[in-house]
Amino acid sequence: MQTSGLWRTSTFRLSALFGALYALGIVLLLGLVYVQTAAYLAGRSDRIIRAEADVMERGGPDDILRAMSRASSRDPFSRFALYAATGERVAGDAPLNPSDLPLNGQPRETRLGPGIPARALAERTPWGEILIVARDSRQIVELRHIVLSALIWSGAIIAILGLASGIGLSLRPLARIRSMQAASDAITSGDFSRRLPIAGARDELDELATIANQMMDEAVRLMIQARTVGEGVAHELRSPLTRLRASLDHAAQGLEADDGRRRLLEACVGEADGVLKRFHALLRIAALEARGRGLARPPVPLAIIVEQIAELYAPLAAERGLALKVSSAPGLLIEADGELIFEALSNLVDNGLKFTPAGGEVRLGAAPGPGGPIIEVADTGPGIAQAERAFVTRRFYRSPRHAQASGHGLGLSLVAAVADLHGFGLEFDDAGPGTIVRIICRAPLG
């Protein structure tokens, strides 16, 4: 399963946030323990040093050496040194030198030798000599290292456990979101029977899926109702209109050619034919929309479709004084229903011939594109205004500039239905002058 979206899930982010806060709390707690322990041990050592110095000075100059000897034998961690007022060492450890310590009686950090840290103080005795009292602080340093190591490792382990728990808790919701996404893709592709899966956990994802499914049920119901009404009207009226058209034509044939009533009846027959064409186009679009995006079809060579359209419309273009230019790169294939693609391109070419004035040209071409072949139909007519391009594929839409032109406003609707059925893109662009209608196809798989 893909986990590219794992880091963006709310579960993972909340788990990581709580883990980070918990790790921070542990680090702060251990840090406080570390600081308090270090301060306590340092203070205890300083108090021992101060007490040793007071005991030795209390005996006076005659007893200080014996006091130093007794203290050294009693406490192996304590070190002492005694210097004369002139600076010569009288007794004690050589590493303790008054030049390394201020004579203020305050303990401070020093060293008894390489790798041997210590706390020590130096001060003048009441009789003028210099007394140095030190205490080995390796135990304090080691304890600090232990606490610091525990702080670092505990923080790292908690962070890793928080990250792992975030991943573990996020995998199941992410899998459910993937299944919802797959169902949504199927619905978008035209499978309106699909619904978002519900896991039965009664959590927010199930609530969201339930709401989305209810919305989808209502949308499908309204869509089917609207489609049924339109198809029902078309089906119900087509037969009476056909009979009416036949009756009008029969009545017209029974009149003389110069009779005004015959001309009126023939005009009525023409209007009936136009209505029947509209009904036929509506039913055709409804049938395409009802099919949904079906399975992949055998590859269709575009060059053959382009040649067939050229043969069909070349006489009409010549009759209207237009140039019909066609071209197709060799070897272009698409997975499509060839008859539907032919029907869509025929509508586009017919529109181009209808709206292009005499002396202009209509171009039909197919060329390779980044994701598959691109079919273009361009003309040198008045074009489609930028503001109208979002409406021209709607049923019965007629531009105010072409309201008097023949047609029923369903040609581009059928083209859009065919493109949507195959999952192709449909774009409009300026030809300068004129319009370019571009169908962006999908190349065959494999």
The top-level CATH class assigned to 204-291 is: mainly alpha
Q: What angle do CA 164, 166, 167 make, to 5 degrees?
A: 65
Integer Cα distance of 305 and 1 in angstroms: 42
Integer Cα distance of 312 and 346 in angstroms: 9
Task: Kindly state the tokens that stand for 91.
Answer: 């007794």
Question: Domain 11-144 adopts which CATH fold?
Answer: Beta-Lactamase (3.30.450)
3-state SS track over 6-75: HHHCHHHHHHHHHHHHHHHHHHHHHHHHHHHHHHHHHHHHHHHHHHHHHHHHHCCCCCHHHHHHHHHHHC
The pLDDT value given to residue 403: 46
C-beta separation of 406 from 387 below 8 A:
no
Q: pLDDT per residue over 241-293, tens digit each?
A: 777 777 877 777 777 777 777 778 777 877 776 666 666 665 666 665 555 55
Integer Cα distance of 444 and 298 in angstroms: 9
Task: Specify whether the backbone of 128 is left (phi greater than 0), alpha (psi in -120 to 50) or beta.
Answer: left
Integer Cα distance of 423 and 394 in angstroms: 18
Q: pLDDT per residue over 214-225, tens digit each?
A: 888 888 777 666
Coil, helix or strand at residue 281: helix
Please give the model's pTM, rounded to 2 decimal places.
0.45
Integer Cα distance of 188 and 218 in angstroms: 16
The pLDDT value given to residue 330: 84
Q: Can you name the residues that pair with 432 across neighbouring β-strands?
A: none
Return the DSSP state at 444: P
Mean pLDDT for each 10-residue chunk of the chain (446 residues)?
55 70 77 81 85 83 81 79 83 76 85 81 87 83 79 77 72 77 77 80 81 85 67 65 76 76 78 66 60 60 87 88 87 81 85 86 87 87 74 62 53 79 82 84 66
Return the DSSP state at 395: T
Q: Where do the domains of the chain lie?
A: 11-144, 204-291, 299-440
Q: How far, in Å, are 34, 240, 242, 250, 252 from residue 255 at the CA level?
A: 115, 23, 21, 9, 6
Integer Cα distance of 122 and 104 in angstroms: 7
Integer Cα distance of 249 and 251 in angstroms: 5
Strands 373-379 and 108-113, how do they pair?
A: unpaired
* Among 384, 300, 301, residue whose Cα is nearest residue 337: 300
The pLDDT value given to residue 27: 75
Q: Where are the alpha helices (DSSP H) in 59-108?
A: 64-74
Residue 205 neighbours by CB distance under 10 Å: 18
Q: Can you name the residues that pair with 366 across neighbouring β-strands?
A: 328, 375
The pLDDT value given to residue 283: 61
The pLDDT value given to residue 291: 56
Which strands, in side-by-side order, build the sheet including 425-430? 323-328, 361-368, 373-379, 435-440, 425-430
Residue 12 neighbours by CB distance under 10 Å: 23
C-beta separation of 346 from 311 below 8 A:
no
C-beta separation of 45 from 137 below 8 A:
yes
Residue 341 neighbours by CB distance under 10 Å: 22
CATH architecture of the region 299-440: 2-Layer Sandwich (3.30)
C-beta separation of 136 from 118 below 8 A:
yes
